[in-house]
Amino acid sequence: MPKKIINIGILAHVDAGKTTITEQLLYLGGAIKEAGNVDKGSATTDQLDIEKQRGISIKTATATLQWDDVQINIIDTPGHHDFISEIDRVLQILDCAVLVISSVEGLQSHTYLLWETLKRLKVPTLLFINKIDRPGSQFDPIIQTLSKELNIHCFSLSSIKDEAENIASIIDFFEKNFSSISSRIERNIEAVAEYDETILEKYLEGEYIDPEILYKKAVELFNNNQLTPIMAGSAKNEIGIRNLMNHIIKFIKPKTYSSEDVLSAIVYKIEHDKKHGRLIRIKLLSGKIKNKESVYCQRLEKEIKIAQIKKRAVNKILDIETLEAGDIGILLGVSELRIGDILGKKELNSAVTKLQEAVLSTQVKAINESQIALLAEALQELSIEDPDLEFKWYKNENELQLKLHGPIQKEILQELIKERYDVDCIFEEPTIIYKETPLKKAEGFVRYWMPKPCWAIMKFEIEPGERGSGIIYESKVGVNDIHQKYQNEVANTIPKALEQGIKGWQVTDLKITLIEGEDHTVHSNPGDFVLATPMGIMNALQNSGTQLLEPMLNFEIKAHESILGNINSDLLKMRAEISPPLFDSDIFTLKGRVPVSTSLDYSIRLNSISSGKAKYRVHFDGYRNCSDQEGNIRPFRGVSPLDESLWILHNRGAYK
């Protein structure tokens, strides 16, 4: 009989209490003898020393418990925005999510982003309103906000007694007292009646509606993405946690995975362990994997041998003989695997959804210059674990560059490098990452035929694309002019050729067409076209000229009308695009777009002028044109393909 498995992600804005909820679930499920405490550094899922010291989750962590006859894999995620890439990688393996909201702080910037992403990916999501015993708890206003601002049809599974007091408790949906709370029952009936005619008729006729029937309809609507269950509690005081898991089991239908089917798995995380080295985390979607077995990797186009299979238990890693379909496991001895790799020959979508693009870049320097190679090795390994870092080593300039999501991430990486690699380093102040795009249609030509043996002749046409369109490439050259295997090398080289344009930034939003070219039956080889492609592309960009692009944030500000003038003045100085304000009594809502470069610290300024009462939420919103004066032009790093002689020597190994 197939094993019932549910993979649950616990997500929240920082400090909403998701790690405490995870600890309580593990305790109630018998996985640990005592719930850990974040403040005391004893949380089970905070495994890094840095996490224990700082009291924040930095990495996603998985723990397993048994609830009734279902195996629950709980994935605790970081709440801080700077570690958002950790969440990106687990979204694709979740069967459901619990989105935690603080009953005191309410919906926060990160909460909105998480909800919108979960809905876009159609991840079944339950809401848990935490900290109901804290002064200022606002359960009902939060439900109203969810309904009004996010258009969520809420189905309440909890009611609260003595809210905002130490003695706060909940009444669960199935308790007798719940049915006596007419306002809560009425809102639930209205939520279901909107989609169910039978319930609607009974409601309008004033007939009794059996809570069991209402609940079953709610489960059905939830699984059709029409209704969202919402619960309340206090994780710190163990209130509502058992109810949360009981409802999860009822609302989430465990997927049926077949261990008898052909192998299909996805690599979603890579991490380092002091004892075992590199751990490759996978979710097995079908089939099974055994120790010492060989599996096919689609990216590598070859079979790779699994040395060992392990599984994360609480505070330890266990050996297992076989990983069954639906489960999460760890592979050892396969260091060539990368995040996003598909194992098995089934076609799967392994694209990682990015909640937020990294728009900051920083240079990392070794304090002891003799350790620069060791530092580069460390950054390369960290970049494998977090591809968003996009580590680059520009050896000519002796520069080590990383992408970042924020300043806290910089601090954590610095500590991690010291702890794991014993390298002291400093991170320079982060700079904004700009991009560039062609100004007009243009052609670029390259003739690489000396010194022989070599032969690659090509003409490219480039033209601007729509903003956000990325890179589009096609070839109009026949295989009689350029052999297909050479054309494949051109296509594969295009992204690398666009990593730096004539203003020093990645080139995007363009269409590239190979319109002419020829190979030579004797002198051509694939490497000639790899070498020549950047020369042709950069020649086209030089002929076109490029437009600088700056990263933008979409913002929403809610505040009292008395400070509208100050905020409007600030935004204009920040070169923001502003929509007309909307008023609800004496509170206004202002929406628009603002450059990252002018608004990095605006939350501090807004907090000051509003005495902490304004609400400010932002999310990445693509790029827009900016002038060279408003942006930042930087020199080309490394050897430029425009210096053709030096480029050829460099690629032939004659110039380092």
Q: What is the CATH number of the domain that holds 77?
A: 3.40.50.300
DSSP conformation letters of 69-105: TEEEEEEE---SGGGHHHHHHHGGG-SEEEEEEETTT
Whether 605 is covered by a domain: the verdict is yes
pLDDT, one tens digit per residue, over 49-60 is 777 777 778 888
CA distance 184 to 160: 10
Give the pLDDT band (50/70/90) at residue 321: very high
Q: What is the pLDDT of residue 4?
A: 85
- Could you list the residue range(s) of the whole structural domain that residue 419 is in? 360-432
> How many Cα atoms occupy the beta-carbon half-sphere of 10 within 13 Å?
33
Do 511 and 576 belong together in one domain?
no
Whether 206 is covered by a domain: the verdict is no
Spatial contact of 193 and 209, defined as CB atoms under 8 Å apart: no
Tokens of 148: 């009004």
Mean pLDDT of 305-325: 89
- Backbone φ and ψ of 166, nearest 5°: -60, -25
Do 516 and 570 belong together in one domain?
no
Confidence check: pLDDT of 271 > 90: yes
CA distance 221 to 155: 10
Spatial contact of 103 and 131, defined as CB atoms under 8 Å apart: yes
pLDDT, one tens digit per residue, over 489-527 is 999 999 999 999 999 999 999 999 999 999 999 999 999
Confidence check: pLDDT of 429 > 60: yes
Do 424 and 378 belong together in one domain?
yes
Spatial contact of 196 and 228, defined as CB atoms under 8 Å apart: no
Q: Is 13 helix (H, G, I), strand (E, B) or coil?
A: coil
Do 66 and 128 belong together in one domain?
yes
Identify the residue with better confidence: 52 or 570. 570
Mean pLDDT of 577-592: 96
Q: What is the pLDDT of residue 435?
A: 98
Confidence check: pLDDT of 656 > 60: no
Which of 432, 460, 493 is the last residue in one of the domains? 432
What residues have CB less than 8 Å from 305, skipping those under 6 apart?
292, 293, 294, 333, 334
Do 18 and 158 belong together in one domain?
yes
Which of 99-103, 178-182, 330-334, 396-400 is the least confident region?
178-182
Whether 185 is covered by a domain: the verdict is no
Spatial contact of 308 and 339, defined as CB atoms under 8 Å apart: no
Do 373 and 518 belong together in one domain?
no
Sheet holding 316-320, edge to edge: 302-305, 294-297, 342-343, 264-273, 277-286, 328-332, 308-313, 316-320
Q: What is the pLDDT of residue 367?
A: 96
Mean pLDDT of 66-70: 89
Tokens of 331: 């592979």
Do 296 and 444 belong together in one domain?
no
Give the pLDDT band (50/70/90) at residue 266: very high
Q: What is the pLDDT of residue 356?
A: 84
The answer to whether the pTM exceeds 0.85 is yes
Instruction: Note the helical H segments in 109-196.
Output: 109-120, 139-150, 182-193
Do 306 and 419 belong together in one domain?
no
pLDDT, one tens digit per residue, over 291-311 is 999 999 999 999 999 999 999
Spatial contact of 58 and 50, defined as CB atoms under 8 Å apart: yes
Tokens of 465: 């694309």
pLDDT, one tens digit per residue, over 156-210 is 999 999 999 999 999 999 888 886 666 788 899 999 999 999 999 998 998 988 9
Q: What is the pLDDT of residue 563?
A: 97
Of 99, 92, 95, the residue nearest 229 (C-alpha) = 99
CA distance 619 to 594: 10
Q: What is the pLDDT of residue 59?
A: 86
pLDDT, one tens digit per residue, over 445-503 is 999 998 889 999 999 999 999 999 999 999 999 999 999 999 999 999 999 999 999 99
Mean pLDDT of 29-51: 76
Do 428 and 529 belong together in one domain?
no
**Structural domain tally of the chain?**
5
